[in-house]
Amino acid sequence: MPLRRALLALPALLALGGPLGAESYPTRPIALVVPFAAGGPTDTVSRLVAEAMGRDLGQTIVVENVGGAGGTLGAQRVAQAKPDGYILLLHHIGMATTPSLYRKLAYDPVGGFEPIGLVTEVPMTLVARKDFPANTLAEAVAVIKRDADKLNYGNAGIGAASHLCGLLLMQSVDTAMTTVPFRGTGPAMQELLAGRIDLMCDQTTNTTEQINGGTVKAFAVTTPERVAALPKLATSKEGGLPGFEVTVWHGLYAPKGTPPEIVARLSKALQTALADPKLIARFAELGTAPVPAAQATPAAHRAFWQADIAKWRPIIQAAGQYAD
């Protein structure tokens, strides 16, 4: 196209999101911040999603682990980044509990983000070191009540799923244990395997292979129904603790102010990724499944997230437990 015609066409191209706008996005690799350590459940889900989304977008999505402070350090990194579509966050239920749990944050835990779509909802499991002296949930509860002052419970910091699940467990059995925080349950699992911590409540995406491989003991899955990848593992209700139920939803975010065309493109790529047969099969092996496509949208994600913030606020306020 001659230069003069090209210059005249420029405003129209920009308005359409043409070669210089969202249509050509992305033109370089995208960073995906995981707010927990490598090798853990959020990391595992994120790497599978990043690979499949990257194929649809025609660009590499590079996972960056920014763990610590229950996921708030990684979230802060994204909330304060340039909203140009080249940095994203994959975070979980902590996005709903952080606004109530953390009263002093250096970023806006709600207004700092554009939701792109929900990703998955993962069951949790109560697991212990291999030589823990119990074989059923009832026996484990008896040991917890008897030896609470000697037992260490591992988690990924305040607001992490493993923290919330542990609180629920300790409330359900009316007994407190010493908690040991890590940058994620990836490193916490290594400590459990080495027998240096005793118990942990963690997502199936981090425990299924260890449970099926016999390297940890498992006492319950925290969902109303058993999980196909762990058919022998009883539910908490079957094991005698009906209130001990929790699942962990995950969502994808961009910094606030990311252009809507880019958010829409990312949401489309997320939907394509979640329909990928290889991703679905791997999720199933890890005891989870992608959300339906209708939930992998900004509107469905925003509505779900806001409802979950409202659900957790009174629970956290009543417990009077804050991160500061």
H-type alpha helices, the chain: 3-15, 41-57, 72-79, 94-101, 137-147, 161-172, 185-193, 204-212, 260-274, 277-285, 298-319
Min separation Cβ 219 and ligand MLT, Å: 17
Pair of tokens at residue 46: 């994120």
- Select the span of 157-165, 225-233, 265-273, 304-312 touching ligand MLT (CB under 6 A): 157-165
Residue 109 within binding range of ligand MLT, rule CB under 6 A? no
Quote the CA–CA distance of 23 and 34 in Å, as a whole number.
26
> Amino acid letter at 70?
G
Residue 233 exposure: Cα atoms within 13 Å on the Cβ side:
30
Quote the CA–CA distance of 222 and 297 in Å, as a whole number.
27
The alpha carbon of residue 55 and the mean position of all alpha carbons in its chain are separated, in whole angstroms, by 22
Which residue, 21 or 39, is less far from ligand MLT as judged by CB? 39
Pair of tokens at residue 16: 């359409």
Which residue, 155 or 297, is less far from ligand MLT as judged by CB? 155
Judged by CB under 6 A, the number of residues near ligand MLT is: 14
Instruction: Candidates 52, 69, 160, 286: give the one binding ligand MLT (CB under 6 A).
Output: 160
Min separation Cβ 160 and ligand MLT, Å: 3
Q: Are 210 and 279 in contact (CB under 8 A)?
A: no
Per-residue x/- track, 237-276, ligand MLT (CB under 6 A):
----------------------------------------
Instruction: Candidates 41, 68, 85, 109: give the one binding ligand MLT (CB under 6 A).
Output: 41
Residue 184 within binding range of ligand MLT, rule CB under 6 A? yes
Nearest residue to ligand MLT, by Cβ distance, number only: 184
Residue 36 within binding range of ligand MLT, rule CB under 6 A? yes
Which residue, 43 or 276, is less far from ligand MLT as judged by CB? 43
The most distant pair of C-alpha atoms in the chain lies apart, rounded to whole Å, by 83
- Select the span of 8-16, 41-49, 110-118, 304-312 touching ligand MLT (CB under 6 A): 41-49
Which residue, 25 or 304, is less far from ligand MLT as judged by CB? 304
What DSSP letter does each residue of 155-207 carry, written as one string? ESSTTSHHHHHHHHHHHHTT---EEEE-SSHHHHHHHHHTTSS-EEEEEHHHH
Residue 191 within binding range of ligand MLT, rule CB under 6 A? no
Quote the CA–CA distance of 129 and 133 in Å, as a whole number.
9
**Torsional class of 295: left (φ above 0), alpha (ψ -120 to 50), beta (otherwise):** alpha
Which residue, 78 or 262, is less far from ligand MLT as judged by CB? 78
- Select the span of 9-17, 38-46, 107-115, 231-239 touching ligand MLT (CB under 6 A): 38-46
Which residue, 105 or 156, is less far from ligand MLT as judged by CB? 156
- Select the span of 6-14, 22-30, 56-64, 179-187 touching ligand MLT (CB under 6 A): 179-187
What are the Cα distances from residue 59, in Å, to 65, 161, 264, 266?
A: 19, 31, 16, 12
Min separation Cβ 84 and ligand MLT, Å: 26
Which residue, 245 or 265, is less far from ligand MLT as judged by CB? 245
Which residue, 248 or 266, is less far from ligand MLT as judged by CB? 248
Q: Are 120 and 289 in contact (CB under 8 A)?
A: yes
Which residues here bind ligand MLT, judged by CB under 6 A? 36-37, 40-43, 92, 156, 160-162, 184-186
